[in-house]
């Protein structure tokens, strides 16, 4: 049971109970609770002499495919050990109570999907997938592939299906995210600093359209002035408390389809 220190304001609980569409906007903080290093964490081991920002570009891949590919394979090995945490599971459980839940995530780890969330808009792609660097079609690679496999369609080299620095977010996915932000009546900001554009503008869009904004993060962020409610601490603690207090165990799920 949540402690008294994790009591949720009743006005926020009411906003959640009455919501017809909740948007969850997640960032690296929620994945860090599953042991996934944030993108800007210091590199370790063989990669300690490299900056992530210098490897996650198309230009870096053109200059040294092996270097970039092997860095991503190392990151995938780290990710293989991660599991969805209590925060991820609480977000997935929201679908039992709220008619519509949309997860807009800046993370590339697939943990929201693994936890059972059914509508996930992954703005920055999926690290578990690959596409061709030339023709952009999907391709397959194994965890032990030490060199980028060739595309079966055009013969180009595969690369991770993530958005690199200097690349545009997927148009259809970002438009769907904008539509969800404009349509929702509760917008939960979870574990993101709110610095990366254009995604950082989504909470502002939701606010302009009249949504209640709530921030759950380990520390204050750029979105704190925007939020009507701020809950500082781990999402794995606050999100289960949010559900438990909005719908106590004796209650029934509201969303039957």
Residue stretches of the annotated binding site for substrate? 72, 75
Q: Is 124 a catalytic residue?
A: yes
Sequence-ordered strand ranges (E) for 6-48: 21-26
Active-site option among 88, 89, 112, 124: 124
| Residue 159 vs residues 57, 77, 129, 177: alpha-carbon distances, Å | 11, 16, 9, 25
Based on its alpha-carbon atoms, the radius of gyration of the chain, rounded to whole angstroms, reads 19
The beta strand positions in the chain, using DSSP E, are 21-26, 100-105, 120-122, 125-132, 138-139, 158-162, 186-190, 212-217, 229-232
- 170/180 Cα distance (integer angstroms): 15
Other Cβ atoms within 10 Å of 127 Cβ, number: 20
- Which residues contribute to the annotated binding site for NAD(+)? 106-109, 191-193, 217-219, 235
Q: Which residues are catalytically annotated?
A: 124
């Amino acid at each position: 049971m949540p402690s008294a220190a994790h009591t949720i304001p009743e006005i926020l609980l009411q906003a959640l109970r009455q919501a017809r569409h909740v948007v969850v906007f997640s960032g690296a903080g929620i994945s860090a609770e599953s042991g996934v290093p944030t993108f800007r964490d210091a590199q370790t081991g063989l990669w300690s002499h490299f900056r992530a920002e210098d490897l996650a570009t198309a230009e870096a891949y053109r200059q040294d495919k092996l270097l970039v590919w092997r860095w991503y394979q190392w990151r995938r090995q780290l990710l293989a050990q991660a599991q969805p945490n209590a925060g991820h599971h609480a977000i997935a459980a929201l679908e039992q109570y709220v008619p519509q839940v949309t997860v807009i995530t800046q993370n590339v780890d697939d943990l929201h999907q693994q936890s059972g969330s059914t509508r996930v808009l992954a703005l920055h792609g999926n690290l578990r997938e690959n596409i061709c660097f030339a023709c952009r079609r999907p391709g397959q690679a194994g965890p032990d592939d030490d060199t980028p496999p060739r595309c079966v369609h055009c013969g180009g080299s595969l690369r991770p299906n993530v958005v690199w620095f200097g690349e545009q977010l997927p148009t259809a996915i970002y438009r769907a995210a904008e539509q969800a932000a404009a349509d929702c009546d509760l917008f939960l900001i979870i574990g993101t600093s709110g610095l990366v554009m254009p995604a950082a503008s989504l909470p502002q869009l939701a606010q302009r359209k009249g949504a209640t904004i709530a921030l759950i993060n380990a520390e204050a962020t750029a979105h704190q002035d925007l939020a009507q409610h701020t809950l500082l601490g781990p999402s794995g603690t606050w999100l289960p408390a949010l559900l438990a207090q909005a719908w106590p165990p004796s209650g029934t799920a509201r969303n039957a389809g």
